Amino acid sequence: MHRNRWLLLVVALTVLSLAAVGCGGDDDDDGAAADETGATDTGATEPAAEQVLRIAWGAEPPSLDPGKATDTTSSNVILALMDPLVKLDPDTLEPEPSAADSWEVDENVVTFHLNQDATWTNGDPVTAQDYVYSWKRTLSPELAADYAYQLYGVKGAAEYNGCEKDCEALADEVAVTAVDDYTLQVELTSEQPWFLGQVSHHSFLPVHQATVEEFGDNWTDPENIVTNGPFMLESWDHEASINMVKNPDYRDAANVSLERIDGPIIVDGITRVQAFEAGEVDALDGAGLPPEEIERLKTEPYYDQYPSLGTYYYGFNIENIGLEQRKAMSLAINRKIITDQIDRTGRAQATGMTPPGVKGFDVINPNSPWLPAEGDMTQAQELMGQAQDAKTKINLFHNDAPGHKEIAVAVQSMWQELGIETTIKAQEWAQYLEFLGPPPNKAVDAYRLGWIYDFPDAINGLELFTCDSGNNNTNWCNEEYDALVEEAKQTVDDDARYEIYRQLEGIMFDEDGDVPLTPIMWYTFPNLEQDSVRDTFYINPLDQIDFTKVVVAGG
Amino acid sequence: MAAFIIRRVVWTIPVILLVIFMIFMMMRQIEGNPFRRTERAVPPQVEANLERKFNLDEPVYMQYLLYVKGVFTFDLGPSLTQTDRSVTDIVKEHFPRSLKLGLLAFMWAILFGIPAGVIAALRPNTLYDYILMLFSNIGFALPAFFVATLFIYYFAVKASLVPTNGWPLGFWEVDSRVLLPSLALALYPMAYFARLVRGTMLETMQQDYVRTARAKGLRWKSIVTRHVFRNSLIPVVTATAPLFGLVITGTFVIEVIFSIPGIGRYFINSVSARDYSVVMGITVLTSLVVIFLNLVVDIAYGFLDPRTRTSR
């Protein structure tokens, strides 16, 4: 009797607790199917017979409309579907021809000569008029594009975008014109040496007028969309997957290996890693790895990391924290501990605002005495002692995304050695941005932010700290600095401009600098890639993936 | 009964209006700019354009009235962040997936939870009881995200029995990918049902009518099925509506972990993105679901307990 009872119990419990195993065992067709597609990871150099890249997208793209998209995932999908006028060389970030065969720059007028073989996926030729239409559409107040300001460098653009009524006349004033079908002329508000590089941004891509006008907001649905790039949108299941196939009529199709890009959308970082390690995808899209997994993943052969044009910094509210104290707090931070023991994604300790990879870095970098890699506690304490009306109870704010708290705690303990009692306060992102202003809430003494560059010129990061900048949350305002920023914008000669950038860095970080912020580290993109694509998969410092270059290696 | 149902349906209208009003006011109270998504400052002209486009430049009461009008004409407005789609598109596409996940989880909960409760109640204070209740305690205590991650690690990554993530998109489509997420989500309601059924069954068995039934010589099996079990189901049915509401809205964590393109994810993301129209749309929809379930429960009482039928 007793034995029977036990038996019954075991059966009941098996049913209850192991239902997943029992049911899962005989129904794993999908797992098997996933293993069959794509290439093996043996690291052979011959291209695989099946050129399929399976990539995990880190987010649902909010929009595949070049005029409306603002985030990295959207940007990477759009750049696979569309053909930018110029692309950036992966190493030098210099513009190279893409949809534009060539261009001329005459002071503030840029003339692009378009490739005449380029067609839309419905067979229409891609013409200069398409660009004129698209840029003006992005600037139109009715579209209300977030990134309309990317085009503000074009003469008349900001005025048109800010128009409230009777905007037709202002639309005509926007200085982008089609000289003929294949010649596009752009007049800029000033000579902007970075403009050519900026044109590689997705905001400058053309859209197909007839399609946009016919379908409105739904023109990006797979059944409606018309594109002109190396790949075509096959399907877009929202929050589930984005699949693309090669465009056989792309002007440079002969140089595109991939036949398909299959992309499940996996938002959760841990799930992304698990999908990769189960062999369900060949690569991740650089959207980041869970901080708690970094240490383990770094030792795996499939771990990769790319330098990024981005700076992680702590800003000071200079109305609360005096100069001597700012210098002391900057000096007290041991950046090496933060990068090597806390962050651990191979980020470099910052020695200035402008990150390496930006053109002219060697000239621009101030190698600031206030940003030594391992800090200088002795000097910091000395300075703190000299500081008049030092504030010894401060609030340090950060947004509540993973990883920031750990760094804040480390900095808190470093500042404690200066006799500063730091209260760390985390806020949810949208609230945080409101709180920082500008001007920042009075409670803010120090705060964390980062900046990822839109284009590879130092001006993009340095102009954040002008007096009127909407991105200057420090209350710092230096007229000499503002004047130099204006001067840099007028300076076409690279070397001369880099010298000005060096002076700008100097005003902030040289021996007699104002130290309104203290850069902590320069970003990297950590990523996972299987052997089959490792050699050809590349994320550039602006977080762009060029899928035309990817070749799946096979056995 | 028909009058009762009509009355209940009419009552949902003020309830919905109240829900819209409360959520509307709450969303406007929290700080945060729906158009500032990254650290990049938004130029004033861009912000003005966006506010005009989404009627945010109107006075608040006008915004409220416009929205209410939209709801009753089945137009939930454009999403502030998913700019290629309207809220109606989002709800239509993603809600059925969350509903399917919730239904599957509920199915497991009923399939395992209720029998477990019955077995435990029929053999109280025996090893069966202890072990089943231990499992139920564990089900209560373990958070779904933890169980989900363990499930993926053991069944998908280690044993490769099922894929780590993904979801069959059609409503009637079911494959191995539904197993882990629905089981992980089922754990809590399963444990809840087991405990609830055990408790009410034990209580019912103490009732006079059960003693009477035994005294008049009815077979134990028929007492349990006809008197004890049926009467014990009333609290279970009562608990079903809110619990199902909880399961449907609680799919968020599971959806993120298993990459299921359901509506829960939009709910949370749009709160943090201040996407007012999506938050409102999903809230209105969820309230409708809960109101509908409560209605179903009230009708079900009538069948389970004849007294409620006549008294109404």
Considering only CB atoms, B261 lies closest to which of A64, A70, A237, namely A237
pLDDT class of A4 with cuts at 50, 70, 90: low
The ipTM, to two decimals, is 0.76
Contact A120, A209 (CB under 8 A): no
Q: Which residue has the tokens 């087991």?
A: B194
Q: Looking at A349-353, A488-492, A505-509, which range is the least confident one? A: A488-492
3-state DSSP call for residue A148? Answer: helix
Burial status of residue A23 (CB atoms within 10 A of its CB: 0-12, 13-18, 19 or more): middle
State residue A151 phi and psi, 5-degree precision.
Answer: -95, 5
Residue A225: strand pairing partners: none
Instruction: Determine whether the interchain pair A27/B175 forms a contact, defined as Cβ–Cβ distance below 8 Å.
Output: yes
**pLDDT of residue A139 exceeding 90:** yes
Chain B nearest C-alpha distance from A304 (Å): 21
Pairing of strands A348-349, A231-237: unpaired
The helix/strand/coil state of A162 is coil
Q: How confident is the model at residue A526 (pLDDT cuts 50, 70, 90)?
A: very high
Q: Determine the Cα angle at B101 with ends A217 and A268, to 5°.
A: 65
Contact B131 A9 (CB under 8 A): yes
State in Å, rounded, how far the first CA of chain B is from the last one.
7
Judge whether residue A513 has pLDDT over 50. yes
DSSP strand pairing (A109-114 vs A100-106): antiparallel
pLDDT for the residue A5:
52
Categorize the per-residue pLDDT at A246 as very low, low, confident or very high, splitting at 50, 70 and 90. Answer: very high
Q: Which of A5, A6, A16 to mutate to test the interface with B (most CBs of B within 10 A)?
A: A16
Question: Could you read off the pLDDT of B245-286 as tens digits, one per residue?
Answer: 778 767 888 888 888 888 887 888 888 888 888 888 888 888
The residue type at A377: M
Tokens representing residue B42 in the block = 């938004």
The predicted structure's pLDDT at residue A412: 96
d(CA A140, CA A374): 50
In angstroms, the CA A463 to CA A343 distance is 27
Per-residue pLDDT tens over the stretch A434-477: 889 889 999 999 999 999 898 889 999 999 999 999 899 999 99
Nearest-CA neighbor of B251 among A277, A249, A239, A546?
A: A239
Contact A37, A550 (CB under 8 A): no
Residue A415 DSSP code: H
**Mean pLDDT, range B171-190, rounded to an integer:** 90
Per-residue model confidence as pLDDT tens digits over A358-409: 989 999 999 999 999 999 999 999 999 999 889 999 999 999 888 899 999 9
Structure confidence at residue A73 (pLDDT): 92
What value does the mean pLDDT take over residues A199-211? 96
Per DSSP bridges, beta strands A231-237 and A241-246 are antiparallel
| Contact present, A100 and A252 (Cβ < 8 Å) | no
Per-residue HEC secondary structure of B139-156 comes to HHHCCHHHHHHHHHHHHH
List the structure tokens of A467: 């007096």
**A469 lies within 8 A of chain B by CB:** yes
pLDDT in tens, B96-134: 998 899 999 999 999 999 999 999 999 989 999 999 999
Return the pLDDT at A52. 96
A residues 202..221 contacting B (CB < 8 A): 217-218, 220-221
- 3-class DSSP state of A526: strand
Sheet with A176-180, strands from edge to edge, namely A100-106, A109-114, A183-187, A176-180
The pairs formed by B226-229 with CB atoms below 8 angstroms and a separation of 24 or more are B228/B201, B228/B204, B229/B118, B229/B201
Q: Which chain B residue has the Cα nearest residue A454?
A: B40
Q: What pLDDT score was predicted for residue B60? A: 86
- List, in sequence order, every residue forming a beta bridge with A154; answer none if it has no partner: A188
The amino acid at residue B239 is: A
Which of these, A24, A275, A279, lies nearest to B182 by C-alpha position? A24
Task: pLDDT band for A15, please (50, 70, 90 cuts).
Answer: very low
* Whole-angstrom distance, CA of residue A277 vs CA of residue B164: 10
What local confidence, expressed as pLDDT, does residue A373 receive?
Answer: 94
pLDDT tens digit string along B165-178?
Answer: 888 888 888 888 89
What share of chain A in percent tops pLDDT 70?
92
Report chain B residues whose CB lies below 8 A from the CB of A141.
Answer: 45, 49, 52
Residues of chain B numbered 124-183 and touching chain A (CB < 8 Å): 127-128, 131-132, 135, 149, 151-153, 155-157, 159-167, 169, 175-177, 179-180, 183
pLDDT at position A279 is: 92
Residue A134 has pLDDT above 50, yes or no: yes
Residue A165 confidence class, pLDDT cut points 50, 70, 90: confident
- pLDDT band per the 50, 70, 90 thresholds, residue A115: very high
Report the pLDDT value the prediction gives residue A555, as an integer from 0 to 100: 63
Q: How far apart are CA B136 and CA B115, in angstroms?
A: 12
Average pLDDT over residues A92-120: 94
**Token output for A71:** 């985030």
Q: Is A355 helix (H, G, I), strand (E, B) or coil?
A: coil
Q: Which residues have C-beta within 8 Å of that of residue A39, sequence separation ≥ 6?
A: A48, A50, A52, A282, A530, A532, A533, A552, A553, A554, A555
Angstrom distance (rounded) from CA B19 to CA A555? 60
Model pLDDT, residue A16: 45
Minimum mean pLDDT range among A413-427, B148-162, B290-304: B290-304
Q: Identify the band that residue B181 occupies on the pLDDT scale cut at 50, 70 and 90.
A: very high
Q: What is the maximum alpha-carbon separation in chain A?
A: 98
- What value does the CA radius of gyration of chain A take, rounded to a whole number of Å? 26
A 126-145 residues inside an 8 A Cβ radius of B: 141-145
Closest CB from B31, B42, B155 relative to A21: B155
pLDDT score, position A519: 97
pTM (2 decimals)? 0.82
The CA distance from B242 to the nearest CA of chain A, in Å, is 24
